[in-house]
A and B are shown apart, each in its own frame.
Chain A
Amino acid sequence: MAKLHVSTTVNGEPLEFLCEPHDTMLDALRNQLALTGSKEGCASGDCGACSITLDDRLVCSCLMLAAEAEGHEIRTIEGMARGGRLHPLQEKFLEQAALQCGICTSGMLVASEALLAKNPDPSEEEVRFWLAGNLCRCTGYDKIVRAVLETATEMREAAQ
């Protein structure tokens, strides 16, 4: 079967790629577009290491077909720091030691950013349930939850 041609926007850049009909968005990001910040932990939507946003909606890129990106806007971990400046969540994860091995970190950050965009003042419980689709085996989540809550507070204060 001929490859499909896809025109999309990734991290603000319009771009095109070719893919097989069965390729996932994660395959396209990692293998076609050399954006390997999104990770494959399970390929079944259970671990969240491949989290991206599709038109600002948080999705597992392993559960999305690459062809579905046509005409839409994708954001990945590679687009989170703007102009060489880290996002406050990225800064806070570093300050709080909210990562150990780092394999889940891309997905955690993308998911956390999506949460704060929707809910700038989440409770601990809201953070925990929002991130329940992102597995971390190293940290026990404690420092991740604290980092997200503190970033939310600081971002709210900065916005005032």
Chain B
Amino acid sequence: MNIVVNNKWIGQRTIRPDGVDKVTGRAAFAADTAMPGMIWGKVLRSPHPHARIRSIDTSRAEALPGVKAVVTSRDVVDFPLDKSVMLGIQDMRWMCRNVMARDKALFPGHPIAAVAATTEAIAAKACELIEVDYEVLPWSIEIDDAIRPDAQILHESITFQGKPSNIVGQLEHKKGDIEAGFKQADVIIERTFTTRPVHQGYIEPHACLISVAADGKTTIWSSSQGQFMVRAMTAYLTGIPQSDIRAIPAEIGGGFGGKTIVYLEPLATLLAKKSGRPVKMVMTREEVMRATGPTSGSKNTVKIGARKDGTIVAAQGTFYLQAGAFPGSPIRGAAGCSFAPYDIANVLSVGYDVCSNRSKVAAYRAPGAPIGAYAVECVLDEVAESLNMDPLDFRLKNAAKQGTKAAHGPVFPRIGYIETLEAAKTAPHYSTPIGKLQGRGVASGFWFNAGGESSAQVNITEDGNVVVTTGHPDIGGSRAGIANICAELLGIDYRRVSVIIGDTQTVGFSNLTGGSRVLFASAMVVTQAAEKVINTLRERAAKIWEIDPEAVKWENGAAHPASPNAGQFEPLTLEDLAEKAPMQGGPIGAGVQLNTQGADGGFGTHICDVEVDIELGIARVIRYTAVQDVGRAVHPGYVEGQLQGGVAQGIGWALNEEYIYRSDGKVDNPGFLDYRMPVCSDLPMLDTILVEVPNPKHPQGVKGVGEVPLVPVMAAVANAIYRATGKRFYALPMSPPKVLEGLEQPIQQAAE
């Protein structure tokens, strides 16, 4: 594949196509639209962590003036437990029960019924009038409680080792002989780590506005990480065919994986169908915190053995991840990614998916990988220390490279992990002296990255400009990258390219915005579509000049004779050819639909400096550098932004963020005051180093970049706190009370 180099727009910090709308308040997010006759929907949620629903009486709610419709699980299509129906990684058996509890409520916040009324206040009042007869059941939230032999089982139909269990899934990656590997080790370190559930923390709550016409034609306006996912899941759960559902992607106010499934859309659709009125639903922040996301809490044990020369000979990981109410925790990311940066002969990595009575886990930026990497990268730091090796040199000695077989299966192609380590080592940050009570930690991370289905249409307007339509919600600037690529290929100013995110009925199927796949995949389809358009333009010029299309080249936005032999002609610009199009064969445009392949994994290495206030237990990040192999930075500003944003989320996860549960099983901190995400004054500038090892399987060399930056952060912070204080912390978050408590305890034994 010919990779574009020496270019004009790729690599430029252009102004994003949707930028002006977003700095002026014009951009329409999910909650920003209204329809004539619109009414409001509200959800009644379970107050109990675990309860059988004996009966629901909605008659008093229905009788309340202003109430137009009430729905319960009876209105949602049932997917019986004996047969799995998959949509991507989601099982509709669980989705239908997650959007509306059927026989049991499985977490506080689980939807029980939904009401639509003329005002939000009436809808809320009607929810209070619904009578639910619950049989309250024993419950568990923490992993240790959920896997006890006498624990109350959430799903009796799921068995583990022949018995009903809350362990609902297992995944194992094996390479070499783990026992023999540890026998070769001169030093072995084994540690157990815990992490707490943390929320994706998007600032925009889930919202939608839906109308269903009398003939069943449905219009969904909502923000999500995939309008096609919204259409498919809503179709499954309501029985409306996909051809009748137009899902329009609103601008999305953050997702980070948390908007890859539906919560409100099926309920609003059913309410709109029943009431005959458009229905708007907007979650409160408290509903977001109680009933959506978060990622898993976890308990993980990692054991690593190395020889005196620094060679890692064996590595073992056991990762228990909370799935919440339904199966599906990201054990693949935890067990699969955590050892991937290293060339280790003997690996055993096992993940367990554990159900418990909290909200169903949702994807969060490199799902599972940060949890696994936190444990592995902290143990690596201890091993390096016990061998008196610099932690980056230790990683360099064991780094995966082209040809390394990863424990999760693939043999790596050309990868850029070593380059990230070398760049970190030579970064001025790494050699800058640090002060008292300050410490410097490093850690690395890997994420699979994804390709998959994408569609694009590239059309030339009648005045010779360009409209590109793709099918992926733009969550962080992908339209800017697409504009750069299209301008590059067509040889025109990027401002002449308009980039639109199509709805489900106007652009071909495009899979989720997730897996760090959007620019990788959409660049492929946009490139192929643009190349088709260029071929058409060359053919048109050839026809006008009466020469062979092969004798026409496309350069700087115009057709030129390929060589003096082809004849002497004045160039025909995009505008010229657009103007002549009606007489020369008609509209100019091309669509491409692909299942994209070749998304190579991504690697990053981070350096973190902290300063610890030992009186108050406050660890503060004072300097940070994230190094990542990004393949090719099509728009460096938004690539750096991905790194910086991931780092900020990781610092929150490391130092403050956690779900705190009350003794009755409810989340005690369902708001931004008590669920403490990093604010501006908590952070320093976040430096980035973009290493560019182009992906040879991509026309622009692109690799996914969005998820890797979260993977190394917690370990980098933990390792830095150790260097600052001499204390290793094995639990997140390392919040002030926990740091204080840790500092008061005697220092633990290092290596065996």
Do chains A and B interact in one complex?
yes
Report the bound CA distance from A100 to B637 in whole Å.
Answer: 10
B23 and A41 contacting across the interface, CB-CB below 8 Å: no
In the docked arrangement, what's the CA distance between A137 and B677, Å? 8
B411 close to chain A: CB less than 8 A:
no
Question: A28 at the A/B interface (Cβ < 8 Å)?
Answer: no
A142: chain B residues within 8 A (beta carbon): 644, 683, 685-686
Given the known interface contacts A100-B638, A137-B256, A144-B680, the answer about A94 and B16 at a Cβ–Cβ threshold of 8 Å is: yes
Among A2-10, A43-51, A65-73, A150-158, the stretch that binds chain B is A43-51
**Contacts A36-B28, A101-B204, A142-B685: A44 and B285 contacting too (C-beta < 8 A)?**
yes
Residues 92-120 of A, flagged 1 when their CB comes within 8 A of B and 0 if not, give: 01111101111111100100000000000
Asked if B679 and A41 make an inter-chain contact with CB atoms under 8 angstroms apart, the answer reads no
Q: Are B647 and A77 in contact (CB under 8 A)?
A: no
B16 CB contact (under 8 Å) in A97, A109, A140, A143: A97
Is A81 in contact with chain B by the CB < 8 A criterion?
yes
Q: Which of B22, B34, B284, B285 contacts A105 (CB 8 A)?
A: B22
Answer whether residue A138 sits at the interface, using C-beta atoms and an 8 A cutoff.
yes
Consensus secondary structure, chain A interface: loop
Q: Which residues of A contact B19 (CB under 8 A)?
A: 94, 99
B32 neighbours in A (Cβ, 8 Å): 30, 36
- A137 vs B645: C-alpha distance in the bound complex, in angstroms? 7
A137 contacts B254, CB within 8 Å?
A: yes
Given A40-B31, A106-B25, are A100 and B20 also a contact pair (CB < 8 Å)? no
How far, in angstroms, from A145 to B255 measured CA to CA in the complex? 23
Can you name the residue of chain A whose Cβ is closest to the Cβ of B683? A141
Chain B residues with CB under 8 A of A31: 34
Q: Which of B590-623 contact A (CB under 8 A)?
A: none
Is A53 interfacial (CB-CB < 8 Å)? no
B636 to chain A, nearest CB (A): 9
A-B residue pair count with CB separations less than 8 angstroms: 182
Q: Which listed residue, A44, A95, A106, A124, touches B13 by the CB 8 Å rule?
A: A95
Q: A103 touches which one: B204, B644, B672 (CB < 8 A)?
A: B204
Contacts of B189 in A (CB 8 A): none
Contacts of B452 in A (CB 8 A): none
B417, CB-defined interface residue at 8 Å? no
A103:B254 contact, CB within 8 angstroms:
yes
Contact of A132 among B28, B679, B686 (CB under 8 A): B679
Give Cα distance in the complex from A44 to B299, angstroms: 33
CA distance A101 to B637 in the complex (A): 14
Q: Which residues of the other chain, B, contact A76 by a CB distance below 8 angstroms?
A: 25
Distance of A47 Cα from B640 Cα, bound (Å): 24
List the B side residues contacting A128 at CB < 8 Å.
Answer: 680-681, 683
Q: Is B571 an interface residue (CB 8 A)?
A: no
A138 to B256: give the CA distance in the assembly, Å: 9
| Interface contact B477-A97, CB-CB below 8 Å | yes
Q: CB of B201 within 8 A of chain A? A: yes
Within 8 A of A (CB), among B133-175: none
Residues of A within 8 A of B31 (CB): 30, 36, 39-40
Report whether A135 and B681 are in contact in the complex, using a CB–CB cutoff of 8 Å.
no
Chain B: which residue is nearest A45 at the CB level?
B673
Once the chains bind, are B673 and A90 in contact (CB under 8 Å)? no
Q: Does A63 contact B (CB under 8 A)?
A: no
If A41-B203, A141-B683, A143-B641 touch, does A93 touch B25 (CB 8 Å cutoff)?
A: no
Which B residues are CB-close (under 8 A) to A105? 22-23
Known contacts: A103-B253, A134-B680. The answer to whether A109 contacts B23 by CB under 8 A is yes
Q: Smallest CB-CB separation from B199: which chain A residue?
A: A137
Partner of A81, one of B24, B200, B671: B24
B561 → chain A closest CB, angstroms: 39
Beta-carbon contacts of B441-461 to A below 8 Å, as 1s and 0s? 000000000000000000000
Residues of chain A within 8 A of B682, CB atoms compared:
132
Give, as a whole number of angstroms, the nearest-CB distance from A67 to chain B.
Answer: 17
Are B204 and A99 interface neighbours, CB within 8 A? no
- Does A131 lie at the interface of the complex (its beta carbon under 8 Å from any beta carbon of B)? yes
Q: Are A140 and B13 in contact (CB under 8 A)?
A: no
Instruction: List the A residue with the shortest CB-CB distance to B675.
Output: A46
Residue contact A100 to B25, C-beta cutoff 8 Å: no
Q: For window 644-668 of chain B, which residues contact chain A by CB distance below 8 Å?
A: 644-649
Q: How far is the CA of A36 from the CA of B209 in the complex (A)?
A: 15
Contact residues of B between 21 and 43, Cβ < 8 Å to A? 21-29, 31-32, 34
Take A43-B285, A140-B686 as given contacts and tell me if A127 and B680 are in contact as well, using a CB distance cutoff of 8 Å: yes
In angstroms, Cα B681 to Cα A135, docked, is 11
A138 contacts B25, CB within 8 Å? Answer: no
B285 x A143 contact (CB < 8 A): no
Contacting pair B671 A44 (CB below 8 A):
yes
A101 touches B202 (CB 8 A): yes
A90 to B22, CA, bound (A): 9
- Cα A38 to Cα B635 with chains together (Å): 28
Contact pick for B683, options A37, A134, A137, A140, CB 8 Å: A140
Would you mind naming 7 contact pairs between A and B with Cβ atoms under 8 Å apart? A39-B31, A40-B205, A99-B19, A100-B475, A101-B204, A101-B251, A140-B644
Q: A interface vs B, CB < 8 Å?
A: 30-31, 35-44, 46-47, 49, 76-78, 80-81, 86, 90, 93-97, 99-106, 109, 124-125, 127-129, 131-146
- Where the two chains meet, the residues of B that have a C-beta atom closer than 8 Å to any C-beta of A are 13, 15-16, 18-29, 31-32, 34, 200-205, 251-256, 282, 284-285, 475-477, 480, 635, 637-638, 640-641, 644-649, 671-673, 677-683, 685-686
Q: A86-B24, A102-B23, A145-B685 are in contact. List 12 more A-B contacts (CB 8 A).
A: A41-B672, A77-B24, A86-B23, A97-B640, A103-B29, A103-B202, A103-B203, A132-B679, A132-B682, A137-B200, A137-B645, A138-B476
Q: Which 4 A-B residue pairs are closest in the complex by CB-CB distance? A: A37-B25, A103-B253, A97-B637, A140-B648
